[in-house]
Amino acid sequence: MSTESMISLSSSSLFFSFILFLIAIVPFGIAVKSRKQAAIKIALALTVIGFLAQLTYFILRWVASGHAPVSNLNEFLTFFGIMLIGSFLVFYYLYRQPVVGLFLLPVSILIIAYASMFANEVAPLIPALQSHWLTIHVITVATASAVLSVSFVTGLIYLLKNVDTAQKGKRSFFLELVLYFLVVVVGFILVTSAFQITDYKASYQFENQQGEIQVHDYAMPAIVVPTGSVPVKEVAGSYEPAEHYGGLLEIPNSIEAAKSNSVLWSFLAGSVIYLLIRLIARKKIAQLLQPFTNRVSSTLMDEISYRSVVIGFPLFALGGLFFAMIWAQIAWSRFWGWDPKEVWALITFLFYAAFLHLRLGKEWTGEKTAWLAIIGFGTIIFNQIFVNLVIAGLHSYA
């Protein structure tokens, strides 16, 4: 089989798994509401087949590229989503809770769909990544992050079960805020896909802080542009003045304007979707989801949250710190350099260390554990996405 055929088949396998997971949400919902064994079996069968299709994607892409497919943001987030499904299957075998699948599958789908918005071409590794430590370090980190993220799902289920969202207060506000952020991700996926279909492109030339001429390429209409920027278009390898839209607001050149523009479009689209849901349903999103948690055991959700952290924390320490330090010493002749990615890996490690300390030493359980699990997931997502995209550092290649 040719390299192109393997890459094409791997992409088809990933898309096939995506469709299966979308379908599996329905029988999971039926299983949670009615506890029918037939629905549970169908949901699990679809999930297992989808997971096998994901593994097919991963193996074929690895063979085609000659290296583990975790070398850029698209591949890493996709593998993160794969391991999230794998983690669910392990925890389902242990605890037999289909409600976890009902809430976890949409999260995994969002992560994989979000990953698809970034470049997915198979390319040779840059020199900094040409090491077997790429496979060891990144795969361990992604797996650990997925296991830890199970606690986010069970923590969210716990809060939906126990927080009275009909009443105004901090608890109901922040729970709804978490769900709003998930809708923002949906907004990013939809608006990015829409502009990709229309093949929208625009470029803006400006002088950066070092006094150098720089060009930012936009895949969405400009809400913000760098200070002093002018619209340009590429002609025969160089840029010439253009007449397309010049942007709504100018922001300091110290800020990544093109990436900030994508963030603003995400919140704009997500807010519109969120408001439409509220207007149509006449309820908060939390209130729409709460009926699926009526039969949930709060104690069991709390137990799964704790167990996922107990398993995921040492894995993250191993991959995110220990293996990373070994690779850093080999690649950059120093095991620690306060690179933004390294700092946030340490913050994530310290947060989950505090999680376990508060759980075991201070006996924080139940709702406190659930909120900690959601904050922990926030640190993981911030580290894997925001730090990679916006904050310049040695890991910016991701």
Averages of pLDDT over each 10 residues, the chain, 398 residues: 83 93 94 89 96 94 86 88 95 94 94 84 69 84 94 96 87 93 90 87 82 82 86 78 78 77 89 95 92 92 95 92 81 74 88 93 89 94 74 50
Residue 179, both tokens: 């769900």
Residue 234 dihedral angles phi and psi, to the nearest 5°: -85, 125
Q: What pLDDT is recorded for position 398?
A: 46
Helix (H) or strand (E) holding 322: none
Q: What pLDDT is recorded for position 284?
A: 92
Measured distance CA(139)–CA(78) in Å, rounded: 11
Torsion 57-188-21-76 (CA) sign: positive
**Mean pLDDT, the chain, as a whole number?**
87
pLDDT of 173-232, one tens digit each?
999 999 999 999 899 889 988 888 888 888 888 887 777 788 888 888 888 888 888 888
Measured distance CA(387)–CA(395) in Å, rounded: 9
Helix count and strand count (H, E) for the chain: 13, 6
Q: Which residues pair with 270 in a beta bridge?
A: none
Q: What pLDDT is recorded for position 128?
A: 62
Radius of gyration of the chain (CA): 22
Long-range pairs of 194-202 with CB within 8 A, sequence gap ≥ 24:
195/219, 195/220, 195/221, 202/231, 202/244, 202/245
Measured distance CA(277)–CA(259) in Å, rounded: 27
Q: What pLDDT is recorded for position 229?
A: 83
pLDDT of 115-162, one tens digit each?
887 777 777 766 666 677 778 888 999 999 999 999 999 999 999 999
Indicate the Cα dihedral angle 362, 173, 308, 48, nearest 10°.
170
Q: What pLDDT is recorded for position 15?
A: 93
Q: Which of 225, 274, 277 is nearest to 253 (CA)?
A: 225
Measured distance CA(28)–CA(32) in Å, rounded: 6
What 3-state class would DSSP assign to 363?
Answer: coil
Measured distance CA(130)–CA(125) in Å, rounded: 6
Contact (CB, 8 A) for 389 and 259: yes
Q: What pLDDT is recorded for position 286?
A: 93
Measured distance CA(82)–CA(105) in Å, rounded: 10
Contacts of residue 332, defined as CB under 8 A and 6 or more positions apart, other chains included, come to: 394
